[in-house]
Amino acid sequence: MPLQAMEFYTLVSLVFLAILMWWYVVTRYNRTTAEPGTVLEFANYQLEELIQSEGINYYLIDVRAEEAYQRGHIPTAINIPARTCNGLLPTDDLFILVVVYGSNRKEAQNVAKILSEFGYFNVHVTNSITRWKGHIQEGDYQSFGVGRRPSPSYVSV
């Protein structure tokens, strides 16, 4: 009888450990989408990997003024100035990955919050452009105005 009790407690312990490990993995690594109104963090190294990846559709949004964008921006970024952001992106896909950056973190967080409240589930904020260590692209202005839908080249792949 003591051997059966020991086997039972071992089994219970293993099940508990498995549940604990499952919970850790789910809460740690399953942060790709969130409820509307929630903005997630996106590290610079993740952004570099995203830019270099193939087959992932995303929007990298520079919320600075057009002039600042023209002087230099992160490759693949489109410009949606913070003062003109109305929560609309040129896509109907509310689950598309959206990464927002600007001159400072607060500016980017404000726009990201607008997009998230508008219904986009996968909105992230990354560090300001001053903390970007990668390549800076000049010129090549890409933006869209209210009511206009940009060409497919605006979706970075």
The CB density around residue 137, as the number of other CB atoms within 10 Å, is: 13
Residues 63, 11 share a domain: no
Predicted local confidence at residue 34, as pLDDT = 57
What residues are paired with 124 via a beta bridge? Answer: 40, 99
Residue located via tokens 């967080």: 109
Residues 125, 62 share a domain: yes
Distance CA 13, CA 21 (A): 12
Tens-digit pLDDT profile for residues 54-104:
888 889 999 999 999 999 998 889 999 988 888 778 788 888 889 999 998
- Residue 10 domain flag: yes
Residue span of the structural domain in which 11 resides? 1-30
Residues 10, 67 share a domain: no
- Residue 35 domain flag: no
Percent of the chain with pLDDT over 90: 17
